[in-house]
Every structure is written in structure tokens, then in C-alpha cells.
Structure 1
């Protein structure tokens, strides 16, 4: 098979491969970029594998960077662009079920490809678009099948994260998992506990954002992988219910995916959300966004949308909640339009500050000042007082007189 017209991302890299070949070595594009090119999907980066050893690559090109030379990876700098090039290699010894204890450079493309995870990722492509398929990866692409290269048990012992990658690819590509590969996952799921949570989270998030998350979640549950992921062990039924959603088109980013998950698991309290997401090693920024979005989502569920709630949540959290509400088929008004119609959108938009209250309303610095400012803010957001200094000063005087 030969791809006549390569995606534009490959074009500037072709001379790099040609130069390696002119020096007497083999060089190929490998991995996901080859798979996605065949499928007609968008590609975002490219990987190059070669029979040339790192020292030989450095002799061919004037500008290189040793980005991972102990594993055979050298970055070639060509016309301002970096191309990571890795020597064909074999690996052995996976004591931590993730990284090899020993890497041996080889000259054989087959030896290099047979250590890869799945046949659809073990494809190589020459710079002219010719596909090298040594493990029937093309056939598996046609069959829409995820199948381990060689013995699944060996592949998962080498790198236990591959089990999560299998269910993630099932969701990403809407492919089935080969029965023998699925049995390998079922037999070795416990090895997932050897893998850093951060790496598991990346695969799980991508699963939830695939073209068919239902399929990925079904495999995630039937293989019992969920038992070895943070805080999911006691949520089987909730995960089943989540997997039964047919239309995932409204879930478009990580925040929406995690909000949908937490809502399904009925983890809705602010501290509970924080605790759960921290166990998954998610960022504080994402946690905060999901907390605010959950407040909005619960207000949608209870039909208790308030202007101040929208103000506190912010546009991004409102959009996140709106998307998940659509996913959950919860009816709601146009919250973004409601938010846009608020008199102000930031505390700094208030036409008065604490200094003005001290000068003109005889309020001293302290807790009372903060309480008055908060009440003025709420009154403006709710449209009960105009956002003008004279009106706000008068309202402040009234609040003080009322105690």
C-alpha cells in the first residue's frame, strides 16, 4: 500500500528521512501518525524510527539535541523545526511494569515494531508514503480491531498502561478489542496499580472524549480495569449508567468529561469533588472549574438559577454546566445569555470600592466593610440597585441604618 498524497505535516520531514537513507540507513515514519493518516484522521505530530544509531545520526546532521539518547532518541534540528528520531531497539526487563530495564539498539525494523503495543500502531511508512505492515495492522484497521502485537500477556507485562490504552483506543476509534487481547487485560488488570495515576488519568480522559466513549467504558467495566483506578471501585452501577448514554456529542473537553463523571457518581459537594479529583492528580485549575460548574448544574437540576450564582460561576463554568446538562437531558434556559445580561461580570466592575465607603459612608475598615461591599455587589448583580456611586452610597447608608 502506498499513500499518494501525504498530509502536509509530513512534507518538511521527508528530506530528513531522505538524508538518512542517502547515508545508507533505513528511516520510517512510525506510530499514531501513520495509523491516523491511513484512517484519514487529523495528525498532530510525527515520530521517526531509523536503523542508524544515535552517534550515526549526529554524524549525518549538523544540529542535533540529545533528548533521550539513552533510549536512542535524538532530535534533529532542520530549518528551525525539531524532529525526534529514535533508533530501532529491543527492550527487556520491565521491573516496574512500565519502563524497560535494558534497551538494545538493533538494525531490524521488525525487531523494533514487534515491541509495540497494538498492530494498528506497529505500522511504518517510508518517506514516499509506502506502508510497511509486518503484523497485519492494515487488516486490523479494516476490521476495526485493536489487537496486541504478539502475546498480549507479554505486552501488558512490559507496560501495564497498555491495558488502559486498549480501552481508550476502543473509544477513540470506535474499534472492538480482539478477544485474546481482552482476556489479557482481564487476567492482568491488577498490574495497573503499578502505574502512576497521572498516566492512567491521561488515558481515561481521552477515553471519555473519544468518538464512542460508551464502547470504551463498556470494556473498562467488563475487564474490571475500573477496580484499579482511584475511587471508582464502589461505583460500578453509576459507571454502567454513564456508559449507557448514547449521545456524547455535547462532551467536548476535559472539564465537561469530569463534570459528567462526577455528576453520574453523585459526587457533588465541593470538598468531595476536590478530594476525588486530587486523587486523580488533576490540576487545581480544573478542580475549581468543575466545582463552579457543578454548582450551576445542580441549580439547573433543581430549577433554581440565580443571577448571583451565575456571576460567581463565570462564563466558562456556565458553558461547561450547560454542555453536561444537555448530555443529561436536563431542560434549562440559555444560561450564557442570562449571564451576558448581568449588569456586571467582575467585582472590579462595581462602581464603588471600600475606599469610597470609608470616605463617604463613615464605615471603618473591618468585617463590616466587607459585608456591606458583598451586599452591594449582590444587589447590583440582581438588578436591585443601579451600578452608580450615588445610588450605592445611599444603599450603603440604608444597610447600616437597618443594622
Structure 2
């Protein structure tokens, strides 16, 4: 099989392959970029595999970076673009189910390809556009089948994360997981305990935004992978409902995906923080999810106040997007309009500051500061006071006098 018109990304990298071949080595495009080209999808990273050993690669190019030289990978820099170039290799046993105990460089493409995870990722592409397909990966692409290379159990014992990659690819590519591969995932699901949560997070987050996220999530549950994922061990009923939502529409970004999951799990804002920290989420994502969940839980009960919208702040856009994805029957456009109409959107917008309390009222910094400013802020947000310095100062004076009594 040939690709007659190579994508621009491959054409730009052809000089790399030509340099390697002119020096007597083999060189191919490999991995996801070949798969996605055949699927007529946009490609991202262009990876190269070669029979040249790392030190041999480095002698051929002026600018290289040792990004993973112990595993055979050298980054070749060319016209501002970096190309990861990896020597053909074989791998020994994986006693930790994550990394090979030893890597051996070889000159054989076949030896290199047979260690890859799935047939659709074990394709190589020659500079002339010829596809090297040693494991019927093209046929699996055409049939939309995700199948492990060789013995699935061996592939998953080499790197247990491949089981998560299986359900992620199924969701992203809208492929069905082949029967033996699926059975091996179910039989070896417990190996996921050996994998760092950060790596699982990456795959799971991509799954949730896949075009067939519903299928990927259902397969994750059917193979019991969720039993080895923090906070998802005994929540199958909630996950089933979550899967149905994902069958209707997918979140547009990571924060929406994780907020929707927390909402469907019925978490409180504080529970959301605990759950997200177990997954090693960023502080920004956790903060937005916490505020979003607080508002969403109130919307479950009924209409929300101006203050509740105000305290949601910049997280409102995320909260309303999640509300649209969920089964909540709320008018999110009306809520967005209501928020826009608020007299202030942040305490920094308040026409009264702590300095005003000191200079105009002679108050000393302390607990009373925060109490007065908070009450004034609430009154402005509720529309009980206009955000005018003179009016707010008068309110503050009255509140201060009450506090002194």
C-alpha cells in the first residue's frame, strides 16, 4: 500500500530520512502519525525510527538533543522543528509493568515493530510513501478494530498503561476493541495499580473527550479498569449515567470533563477537591471545578441568587457548559445574562477599600475590616446599594458603629 501524497508534515521531515538513508541506514516514519494519515486525520508529532544507533544519528546532524538517549531517542532539530528519532530496539522483561529492565538496540524494523502496543500503531512509512504493515494494521484500520500486536497479555505486562490506551483509542478513534485484546485487559486490569496516576490521568482525560467517549467508558467499566482508579471503584451506576451523557455530547476541555464527572458522581465541593487531588490535577483545574460544583449543586435545588453567581466568578463559564452537558433543566443563557448584569464581578471592583476604612473612618486593620467589606460587598451584589464610594462609606460607617456597641 502506498500513500501517494504525503502530508506536509512528512514532506518537511523527508530530508532527515534521506540523510539517514544516504549514510546507509534504514529510516521510517512510525506510530500515530502514520495511522492518522491513513485515517485522513490531522497529524501532530512526526516520529522517526531508524536502524542507526544514537551515536551514529548524532554524527549525521548538526543539531541534536539527547531527549531519551538511554532508550535510543535523539531529537533532531531542523529549521526550528524537532523530530524524535529512535533506534530500532527490543526490550527485556518488565518487572514493574511500566518500564523495560533493559533496552537493546537492533538493526531490524520487524523486531522494533513487534514490541508496539496495537496493530494500527505498528505501521511504518517509507520516504516513497510505501506503508510497511507486518501485523495487518491496515486491515484493522479499515475494519475499525483495535487489536494488540502479538499476544495481548504480553503487551499489557510490558506496560500496563496500554490497557488504558486501549479504551482511550477506542473512544478517540471510534474503534471496537478486539475480543482477545478485551479479554486480556479484563484479566490483567489489576496491573493498573503499578502505573502512576499522572499517566492514567492523561489517557482517561483524552477518553472523556473522544468522539465515542460513551463506548470507551463502558469498555473501561466492562474490563474493570475503573476498580483500580481512585474514586471510581464502586460507582458503576453513576458511571453508567455519565456514559449516557457522553453519548450525547463531549466536554470541550479537560476542566469541563472532570467537572462533569464530579457532578455526576454527586460530589460536594470539598469532596471534589479531595477527588481531584488524588488524580494529581492542577490547582487551577481544582479551583474551577470546586466553584462550578458549588453552583451546580445549588442549581439542582432550584434558582440561585445573585451572590451565588457572583462567588462562582470566572468559573461560571465552565459551570454553565457543564450544566448544558448534564441533565439539569436550567436556562444557562439567562444565568449568563444575569451574571453579566451584576453591578460588580470581583471584590476589586468594589468602590470601597480597607484604606478607605482607615483614612475616612479611622479604623485599624483587623477582623472588623473583613467583616465590614464583606457585608458591603454582599449589599452591592444584591443591588441593595449602588457601587458609589460616598454611599458605601456611609454604609461602612453605620456598620462600624454597630460593631463598636
Q: Distance in 1 between matches of 2:222 and 2:91?
A: 31
**TM-score, length basis structure 2:** 0.95
Number of the residue aligned with 1:225: 225
- The question of 1:156 aligning with 2:152 is answered no
Matches within 5 A, 1:1-80: 1-80=1-80
Preserved contact between residue 209 and residue 250 of structure 2 (Cα < 8 Å): no
SS at match of 2:245: coil
Number of the residue aligned with 1:374: 374
Number of the residue aligned with 1:297: 296
- The question of 1:123 aligning with 2:123 is answered yes
Number of the residue aligned with 1:310: 309
Q: Deviations 1:97-140 (Å, cap 9, x if unpaired)?
A: 01001111111111101100000100111233321111111100
Runs of 5+ unmatched residues, structure 1: none
Q: Distance in 2 between matches of 1:75 and 1:44?
A: 16
State the shift of 1:274 in Å: 1.4
Q: Distance in 2 between matches of 1:143 and 1:20?
A: 34
Q: Distance in 1 between matches of 2:168 and 2:311?
A: 35
Q: Distance in 2 between matches of 1:346 and 1:127?
A: 57
SS at match of 2:62: coil
Number of the residue aligned with 1:329: 327
Most deviating of 95-104 and 270-279: 270-279
Q: Distance in 1 between matches of 2:9 and 2:344?
A: 45
Preserved contact between residue 273 and residue 291 of structure 1 (Cα < 8 Å): yes
Change (3 A) 1:399 1:300: same
Most deviating of 361-370 and 171-180: 361-370
- The question of 1:343 aligning with 2:343 is answered yes
Q: Deviations 1:364-394 (Å, cap 9, x if unpaired)?
A: 3211111111111122222221111111111
Preserved contact between residue 247 and residue 327 of structure 1 (Cα < 8 Å): no
Q: Deviations 1:63-88 (Å, cap 9, x if unpaired)?
A: 21221111111111222322110000
Matches within 5 A, 1:95-110: 95-110=95-110
Preserved contact between residue 250 and residue 323 of structure 1 (Cα < 8 Å): no
Q: Deviations 1:123-176 (Å, cap 9, x if unpaired)?
A: 111233321111111100111110000000111111111011101111111110
Most deviating of 115-124 and 279-288: 279-288
Runs of 5+ unmatched residues, structure 2: none
Matches within 5 A, 1:180-329: 180-245=180-245, 247-267=247-267, 269-315=268-314, 317-329=315-327
SS at match of 2:90: strand
Preserved contact between residue 145 and residue 175 of structure 2 (Cα < 8 Å): yes
When the two chains are superposed, the root-mean-square deviation of aligned CA atoms in Å is: 1.5
Preserved contact between residue 161 and residue 199 of structure 2 (Cα < 8 Å): yes
Change (3 A) 1:117 1:18: same
State the shift of 1:248 in Å: 4.2
Most deviating of 42-51 and 171-180: 42-51
- Give the length in aligned residue pairs: 401
Preserved contact between residue 256 and residue 320 of structure 1 (Cα < 8 Å): yes
State the shift of 1:246 in Å: 5.6
SS at match of 2:186: helix
Preserved contact between residue 212 and residue 248 of structure 1 (Cα < 8 Å): no
Q: Distance in 1 between matches of 2:361 and 2:244?
A: 59
State the shift of 1:282 in Å: 1.4
Most deviating of 183-192 and 8-17: 8-17
